[in-house]
Structure 1
Amino acid sequence: MVLDTTTLRIAFALMALLLGLLFYFFVYRTTHAPYSGWWCVALALFLTGALAFLLDGTPLQRWANPMGHVLLVSGAVSVWSSARTLRRSPPEPLMFVAAPAATLVACALDSPATNTWAGGPVFLASMALMFGLATREMWPAGPAYTRVRIPMTASVGLVSVFYTGRLIAFLTDGPGGPTFELFFGSAITTMFTMVLLVVVSFSMAGLISEQQTRALHMVATRDDLTGLLNRKAFLDLAAAVLKDPAATQGTGALILADLDHFKSVNDTHGHAAGDLALQAFAGACRDTVRSADLVGRYGGEEFVLLIPGASAGRAESIAGEVSRRLAQVPTVDGLEMPTVSYGVALYDAGTSDVEDFIAAADRALYVAKSRGRNRTVHSDRIV
């Protein structure tokens, strides 16, 4: 069966139009996610590019054909820009101009009025490069690289590989050669790209839903001011750690911290200064502990840290390092960061109740404050 290129291009344009409208009204307008916005731009450019090629073979081919190539390259650049925003990297304005401009010049110098493949090598190389760069941006995504992103990344990568193959076949076989027509002709390319764009679009919609769910979870488990775990989230996660001794050899330490004379900071410098002190302490904790450790705001100026596998000496060292980092935070208008008192309790494989564990650290914290503050006291050493 011979594929009708014109019909496929019309179908591709209609598909791009439908996907673009769906993304704009049901995704971008509700989330304002940058990558969904760039994807809407890419679909609009692919739509207009496909329509421009419908004028091939008419007197308008002179300008419509180069414009189609430029629009498709611009769409590929938009895909790359969308991929960059997934990693919170800004788009590259220079590349957005450079690749389409190079394509336009190459097409204009290659008899576009009679040659439907005017500037073909530059066009194909630009498409392969842009989709390749987009794949590179999507690939090293770390913990955020979930199963939702796998088909999206694979599809964009396949487009890059396909255009690379088109470029090689174009240079070795020519646009009219049997190999090029059989595997990389316009009809095959339109159908192939159509299928992969649908896969990418649905994958991106799934990614947006996943990220919204993650954002809602973050709001529910994080303290608004410090960004640390809130009290409930900390208690739930700490209970899970205590129930899984195999993950940490069943031992560890809990540190309960309280900022000394915090009320005087608010009374003397205002609540904004107090908020700054709380945020500075939270930052000092994040800079000190490991990713496997738990840090939460227990309430007011009290914080709690769970350090799996830590000994009494290690816990005291962590407390000292947090205080050292806090003291180094630059301040203004005479504000000095408060000192901190710490109560430490150790746990073993027999410890199961988080509240009792915290109560032991709280008793040690009370002793630290009664002994003059700005010190660390261990619950097993209270006399």
Structure 2
Amino acid sequence: MIDATTVLIMSGLLTVVCAVIFVLNSAFGRQDAVGLFWSAGLLFAIGSSMSFAVFGLDPSMGWANAAGNAMLAIGMGCVWLGIRSFNGRRLRMWIVFGAGAIIFVASLLDSPFGNEWAGAPVSWLGIIAFTAMAAVECFSRRLSGRLNGRILAVVVGTEAVFYSGRFIVFLTSGAQSSAFQVWFGTATTTGLAILLVVAGTLAISILRIERTNTYIESGLYAEPGFSHVGVLDWPHFTTGGADRVSRAKNHGMSSGVVIVTIDSLGDINTAFGKDVGDRAVQILADVLRDTMPPTAIIGRESAGTFGVVTTMADPAEAEDTIARLHNALVESAFDSRANLRLTVSVGVATGATTEAGWQKLFDLATQRRDEAEARGGNLVLDGRE
């Protein structure tokens, strides 16, 4: 019978192998927040395995058990952050590291010396929360409909269900009960962890490759600062947009943020071919450059999503600008053979000098664009009914 310490060391070594492969791929490839968070998750998993192994060798080192509990939960939190970053959502790092600090302190206060279950229930609650939120996130935005996104959802969802059962049986029957030892003991948990680490690492690695290939094919990885369609890439757009909104407020001017997404671009690619979809993207980029004010900042987030930041003396000017955009799109066919015209979902947020700044405008415009898509597309939402 293999003892628990040996099992933990084996699990740690496998995690190290998976982490090294993934981290090296991230380090020598194009670095982004998604890869950094998922790499951090694997590194925290390594740290957790090593900490538990140290505690197994010397149970008097209670701090090692506390550190292992905290790092395991933080690792799952980093997976959740990576999925949120993949979907383009705002990150909540303070939640993850705040939870880790609470788990570490709780473990130290729970008679940690010689007690392998010190702080375990608190750690499991953190794991359950992060993996459950990660599973839900896998079915939204960019991950929805992706096979590897569903695989990742199964991985984190299985972990959430398993740790929920472990938490309940631990509280109701105790760690020494036969039910806990058979179904939720260290050996069972480690065996499941090995399977999930392998499956999860493969899924997120393939997702990163697919994401990079999509960006390369769509031209998002072009000259530094620009996509191939002649507008700013997203990081430079958001940085410049925040600066533009701040400066406009200082000069007593209003700002407007516009988020534009081509409706059903995936269906266009499927039905007419990727060349037609690429022409649609290029036409939208050209129309934005032709119709937006010359002082506007235009950026591209993904294949069919663009953002615009502009300043104006009167917020009502945004209505005329969007009308020019729609008129230009109606006149531009992206497939002359089928006489296809673009339709777009548009979210608009404008703010006077006394109102909130860039982040609020950006979030509001994105929310309205999402609502326009949900209502069938070909719609502009600017807060008015």
With the length of structure 1 as denominator, give the TM-score of the two structures.
0.60
Corresponding residue of 2:22? 23
Corresponding residue of 1:190? 190
- Displacement of 1:206: 0.9
CA offset digits 1:186-244 (Å, max 9, x no partner): 11111101111111111111111211221233129973349999xxx9xx979949xxx
Corresponding residue of 2:49? 50
C-alpha spacing 1:286/1:118, structure 2 compared with 1 (3 Å): farther
C-alpha spacing 1:274/1:165, structure 2 compared with 1 (3 Å): closer
Corresponding residue of 1:96? 96
Corresponding residue of 2:176? 176
Corresponding residue of 1:223? 229
CA offset digits 1:317-341 (Å, max 9, x no partner): x99xxxxxxxx9xxxxxxxxxxxxx
Map 1:244-255 → 2, pairs under 5 A = none
Alpha-carbon distance in 2 for matches of 1:295, 1:91:
34
Rg larger in 1 or in 2? 1
- Displacement of 1:93: 2.8
C-alpha spacing 1:162/1:274, structure 2 compared with 1 (3 Å): closer
What amino acid maps onto 1:141 in structure 2?
R
Q: Tell whether the 8 Å contact from 1:295 to 1:306 is kept in structure 2 after alignment.
A: no
C-alpha spacing 1:25/1:286, structure 2 compared with 1 (3 Å): farther
Structure 2 stretches lacking a partner, 5+ long: 221-226, 234-259, 274-282, 299-307, 311-317, 344-349, 351-385
Corresponding residue of 2:333? 304
Corresponding residue of 1:357? none
Alpha-carbon distance in 2 for matches of 1:176, 1:35:
40
Q: Tell whether the 8 Å contact from 2:48 to 2:71 is kept in structure 1 after alignment.
A: yes
C-alpha spacing 1:98/1:303, structure 2 compared with 1 (3 Å): same
Structure 1 stretches lacking a partner, 5+ long: 242-254, 297-301, 320-327, 329-383
What amino acid maps onto 1:130 in structure 2?
F
Corresponding residue of 1:39? 38
Corresponding residue of 2:315? none
Alpha-carbon distance in 1 for matches of 2:149, 2:161:
18
- Do residues 110 (structure 1) and 110 (structure 2) align? yes
Q: Tell whether the 8 Å contact from 2:87 to 2:142 is kept in structure 1 after alignment.
A: no
- Displacement of 1:12: 1.4
Alpha-carbon distance in 2 for matches of 1:52, 1:226:
45
Alpha-carbon distance in 2 for matches of 1:143, 1:59:
42
% identical aligned pairs:
23
SS at match of 1:31: coil
Q: How many residues align?
A: 275
- Displacement of 1:288: 4.1
C-alpha spacing 1:131/1:31, structure 2 compared with 1 (3 Å): same
C-alpha spacing 1:136/1:286, structure 2 compared with 1 (3 Å): farther
CA offset digits 1:6-50 (Å, max 9, x no partner): 222112111221222211222343121322211111111111111
